[in-house]
């Protein structure tokens, strides 16, 4: 993974929430490890790697241990990855964790949270420590064992 | 696989063709082994099994050996699996073989070709021999080696 | 796979047979497709690819369709891959098909059948047609679908 | 995984060491997380799960982070899994981490370290914390992400 200067995680900019009764805030979960998994529903690498890994996280870790949020950051083919299509995707892939729809920009194809976190594409794995600092911000696949190690370490801080 | 009474393959009922300059006809390809792979772009089992297997077929077999057609048979969530979404899917998954969109029915959620072939869901693998008889019509995953054996045998008939 | 000049398959030179009551002869099985899978029990590539593929063949094809023979062609580390070790290996990996031990040479580390077939290492897949001609002689992994196609074609000849 | 009463890890009883210049002691590595992976070279489950997972650990974690020891605990087929065969296995599978041969018992087929740790078979994963307490002692496969989490947590204690 690339080295990273730790900065405070910006708040998510979200147009829709799925699988949660209330909006989730980075700020309000200070004290908990937060995993944000940015994906697009029609991105093959996301389907192959991100979705199974996110499902495994949600099975292995309790909601006391981590807050896991899927972030649907659509930066291409916007017309066919709207909220209706995403709802079908979440239903068919049996995703049980909260999913946020990244708020579209008015002047860019890149949605707002994706810009704020300077993501280079999807899938991107973001891990935020208990203090609210971004500790991982990685495009592409990160090995399961390495993800587990990092989460284990951050939980213990 | 389930035993099957061999019947002549009905013609495909198609609203759109992708990756082919002209419409493809079962009748006009008498003398060639035809593989029709019915899928839905938001069906997880199709993404895991059907798409990789269809891509492998298109790599291993020449167009002289088999005619491979993807059949997008949408029987649920019709709103979000239209032709625009399918075009993005085909682009992102780099499908190079012809794909037919199964013609919607006016009185049923089941599209017309899916009804004619009595498919029970997606993915479904249909294999038609050189005489035009349906030799395989199977819901779910069929092992690569078994698919290869059947195609090898039918090519040799 | 490499192109191949078809030659008649030489008889196997065997010091021990496992999983068969009588010795098996290439000559005596003229009229049947024969698969010979050369392996070494301590060869990682053989464990990863050859053994699972051979087990799949033995499940998918009846003994009427093909004669499958494992060939233990030891060309290195002879001391620790003797018949006692091989018997344990066959037991632990639950191999049910006949296995022949390639006859050691008196003047070479390469056993006799391995020399006769000019194998370059293990795993090597040899496929012999109904006439007794070698149609495949390939070092390394061959895709399941391609193996299936070749076997389907040769069965139909 | 099964719950576990934490007890101090007994010292390894070893007849041979491979891939290390000096004998390794549990006692002398107090302060470091220790992973002991018990396996047998002719155990299919060990080859499929334990060996790849141990190799991944040795790639992802530095020797400052964990001490990884393979433990060859032969409890069956002793004749064909001696030190000569094991040396070939370690060479062929390119294992670079230290491997200890569990000391045979005079009155049992179960070797001494296997008895001391009350292992029920192979593969067995043992993880010892910085204080020398056994925190994991698990027969069979443990998911990579869970192994990573446990190691991350124990490293942080």
B3 pLDDT above the threshold of 90? no
For the stretch B45-56, pLDDT in tens is 999 999 999 999
Beta-strand relationship, C14-18 and B134-139: unpaired
Inter-chain touch D148–A144, beta carbons under 8 Å: yes
Report whether pLDDT(D3) > 80.
no
Give residue for tokens 């018992």: D105
Measured torsion, CA atoms of residues C38, C43, C44, C50, in degrees rounded to the nearest 10: 10
pLDDT in the model for residue B5:
75
pLDDT at D4: 74
Query: Does a structural domain hold residue A25?
Result: no
Is the pLDDT reported for residue B4 higher than 80?
no
Strand partners, B67: B34
Q: How high is the mean pLDDT of chain B?
A: 96
CB burial of residue D130 (10 Å; 0-12, 13-18, 19+): middle
8 Å CB contact between A98 and A23: no
- C42 at interface of D, judged by CB pairs closer than 8 A: yes
User: Beta partners for B124?
Assistant: B38, B139
Q: Which residues pair with C100 in a beta bridge?
A: C17, C71
Task: Establish if B157 touches chain A: CB-CB under 8 angstroms.
Answer: no
List pLDDT tens digits, range D4-57. 777 999 999 999 999 999 999 999 999 999 999 999 999 999 999 999 999 999
Interchain contact A45–D (C-beta under 8 A): no
pLDDT at residue number A6: 79
Closest residue in chain C to residue D43, using alpha carbons only: C92
**Secondary structure class of D19 (helix, strand, coil):** coil
Contact B147 C150 (CB under 8 A): no
pLDDT beyond 90 at D137? yes
What parts of chain A have a pLDDT lower than 50?
A: none
Supply the range of the domain harboring residue C99: 14-19+31-156
* pLDDT classification of D149: cutoffs 50, 70, 90: very high
Under 8 Å between Cβ of A119 and A50: no
**Helix, strand and coil percent figures for chain B, each rounded to 5:** 30, 25, 45
Asked if A57 has any chain D CB less than 8 Å from its own CB, the reply is yes
Give the CATH number for residue D136: 3.40.30.10
Across the range B81-108, mean pLDDT stands at: 98
Q: Per-residue pLDDT averaged across C106-130, rounded?
A: 97
Q: Into how many domains does chain C fold?
A: 1
> Quick check: C88 contacting D, CB < 8 Å?
yes
Return the partners of chain B (3 or more C-beta pairs < 8 Å). Answer: A, C
Average pLDDT of the segment spanning B124-132: 97
Please, which pLDDT band fits residue B119 given cuts at 50, 70 and 90? very high
The per-residue pLDDT for range D83-126, each reduced to its tens digit, is 999 999 999 999 999 999 999 999 999 999 999 999 999 999 99
Record: contact C44-D77, CB cut-off 8 A: no
In-domain check, residue D1: no
Contact B153 C157 (CB under 8 A): no
In our burial notation (b when 16+ CB lie closer than 10 A, e otherwise), range C4-42 reads: eeeeebeebbbeebbeeeeeeebeebeebbbbbbbbbbb
SS3 label, residue B147: helix
pLDDT of residue C1 exceeding 90: no
pLDDT averaged over every residue in chain A: 96
Nearest-CB residue to B42 (from A44, A79, A88): A88
Residue whose C-alpha is closest to residue B34's, from B107, B126, B97, B157: B126
Confidence band, pLDDT 50/70/90 cuts, at residue B6: confident
Q: For position C54, what pLDDT does the model report?
A: 98
CB A101 within 8 A of CB A14: yes
Shortest alpha-carbon distance between residue D15 and chain A (Å):
32
Which residues does chain B have within 8 Å of residue C153's beta carbon, measured at their own beta carbons? 152-153, 155-156
D2 in a structural domain: no
C8 is a domain residue: no
**Measured between beta carbons, which residues in chain C are less than 8 angstroms from residue D79?**
84
Global pTM value: 0.95
CA distance B157 to chain C (A): 7
For residue range D56-75, what is the model confidence (pLDDT) as tens digits? 999 999 999 999 999 999 99
Q: For chain D, give the mean pLDDT.
A: 96
Does residue C6 lie in a domain region?
Answer: no
- Tell me if B149 and C152 make a contact (CB, 8 A cut-off): yes
Measured CA to CA in angstroms, residue C70 lies from A108, C126, C154, D155 at distances of 61, 10, 19, 47
Q: Is B80 on the interface with A (CB under 8 A)?
A: yes
The beta strand positions in D6-123, using DSSP E, are 14-18, 33-39, 66-72, 99-102
Q: What is the pLDDT of residue D5?
A: 75
Distances (CA, A) of D3 to B88, D113, D121, D136, D137: 49, 21, 17, 9, 9
Q: Tell whether A64 lies on the interface with B, counting CB pairs under 8 A.
A: no
Q: D52 at the A interface (CB within 8 A)?
A: no
Could you tell me which chain C residue has the CA closest to the CA of D95?
A: C44
* Whole-number Å distance between alpha carbons of C152 and C64: 13
Does a structural domain hold residue C5? no
Spatial neighbors of A32 by CB under 8 A, at least 6 apart, are: A65, A66, A67, A130
Crossing angle (nearest 10°) for helices A144-155 and D144-156? 30
Q: How far apart are CA A134 and CA A8, in angstroms?
A: 6
Does B92 sit within 8 Å of A44, measured CB to CB?
yes
Q: Which two tokens stand for residue A143?
A: 């090995």
Min Cα separation B60/chain C (Å): 7
Residue D25 covered by a domain = no
CA-based nearest residue to D46, from D128, D109, D121: D121
Interface touch D60/A149, C-beta < 8 Å: yes
Q: Is residue B4 part of a domain?
A: no
Check residue D40 and give its pLDDT.
98
């Amino acid at each position: 993974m690339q080295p990273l200067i730790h900065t405070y995680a910006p708040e998510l900019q979200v147009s829709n929430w799925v699988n949660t009764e209330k909006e989730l805030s980075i700020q309000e979960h200070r004290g908990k490890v937060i995993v944000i998994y940015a994906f697009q529903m029609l991105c093959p690498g996301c389907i192959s790697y991100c979705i199974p890994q996110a499902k495994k996280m949600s099975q292995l870790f309790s909601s006391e241990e981590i807050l896991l949020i899927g972030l649907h950051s659509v930066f291409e083919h916007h017309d066919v990855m709207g909220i209706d299509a995403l709802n079908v995707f979440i239903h068919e892939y049996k995703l049980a964790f909260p999913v946020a729809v990244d708020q579209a920009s008015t002047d860019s194809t890149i949605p707002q949270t994706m810009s704020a976190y300077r993501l280079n594409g999807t899938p991107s794995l973001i891990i935020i420590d208990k203090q609210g600092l971004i500790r991982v911000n990685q495009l592409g696949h990160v090995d399961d064992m390495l993800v587990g190690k990092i989460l284990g370490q951050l939980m213990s801080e």
